[in-house]
Amino acid sequence: MQKKSLAFALTVILSGGASQVHAEMTHADSVNTGKQKSITCVSCHGEHGNSTMAMFPKLAQQNAGYLVNQLKAFKDGTRKDPMMSTLAMTLTENDMVDIANYYAEQKIVAEPAKSDESAEERAEHETLVAQGGDLYRNGDLKREVSACIACHGPLGEGNKPAAFPALKSQHADYLIKTLNDFKSGKRSNNPENMMHMISAKMSDAEIKAVANRIATMK
């Protein structure tokens, strides 16, 4: 399995990247055009892709290749969401590339620490984050949960050439939802089923812990 995913990662590294370039536009022009085209996204995904509501994923600083893949998946129906599926139908491939280039250039903002937390709540959160950090770095050898760090990077920055998504500073509740969607197969687009195999082995407690850890990564 290890060997197979490595070979897969290499294939995407060698074939990736090209989809983020327009034949007739410079990168800077594409980013500017993308900003205009992203006006319809702001109501849910927030200013500069930093949404304030946890049900809407942040798009800021996400790898462009990953964003384009998701928009294509919403359009062709391999990833389904009542809001996104309809919207993606209206986007051309050039629109997707421009919008993705724009969001990739924005800075993601982490949630501020909660100020109304009691000492107990804070301690509980810290334990959760520590457990999640351990799983993120080391995985769980016995139960064959792969370490997230291998594909999503030490700082949750993702892997641009392979189009593995950045995860850092993402809303914990969105991460929990989407990991459960992988687990149940509701989110079915997924190269080589990598996330299906991993999430299937994760318990609810592990999903909650790792999501809380990732949300604090900056």
How far is the C-alpha of 195 from the C-alpha of 212, rounded, in Å?
Answer: 18
Does 209 engage in binding with ligand HEC (CB under 6 A)? no
Q: Which is nearer to ligand HEC, 80 or 125 (CB)?
A: 80
The closest alpha carbon to 9, from 137, 148, 160, belongs to 160
Does 193 engage in binding with ligand HEC (CB under 6 A)? no
List CB contacts of 84: < 8 A, sequence separation 6 or more: 74
List CB contacts of 32: < 8 A, sequence separation 6 or more: 102
Residue among 64, 210, 215, 217 that touches ligand HEC (CB under 6 A): 210
Backbone region of residue 91 per phi and psi (left: phi > 0; alpha: psi in -120 to 50; beta: other values):
beta
Region of 13-21, 22-30, 64-72, 121-129 interacting with ligand HEC (CB under 6 A) = 64-72
- Quote the least distance from Cβ 14 to ligand HEC, whole Å: 16
Residue among 48, 75, 152, 160 that touches ligand HEC (CB under 6 A): 152
| Interface of this chain with ligand HEC, residues 42 to 61, rule: CB under 6 A | 43-45, 55-57, 59
Does 97 engage in binding with ligand HEC (CB under 6 A)? no
List CB contacts of 160: < 8 A, sequence separation 6 or more: 63, 64, 65
Q: What's at 160, amino acid-wise?
A: K
Token pair listed for 76: 């062709």
End-to-end CA distance of the chain: 30
- Quote the least distance from Cβ 216 to ligand HEC, whole Å: 13
The closest alpha carbon to 103, from 172, 37, 11, 17, belongs to 37
Q: Which is nearer to ligand HEC, 93 or 117 (CB)?
A: 93
- Quote the least distance from Cβ 87 to ligand HEC, whole Å: 5
Q: Footprint of ligand HEC on this chain (CB under 6 A)?
A: 5, 38, 40-41, 43-45, 55-57, 59, 66-67, 69-71, 81, 83-84, 87, 99, 135, 145-146, 148, 150-152, 164-165, 167, 175, 177-179, 189-191, 194-195, 198, 210
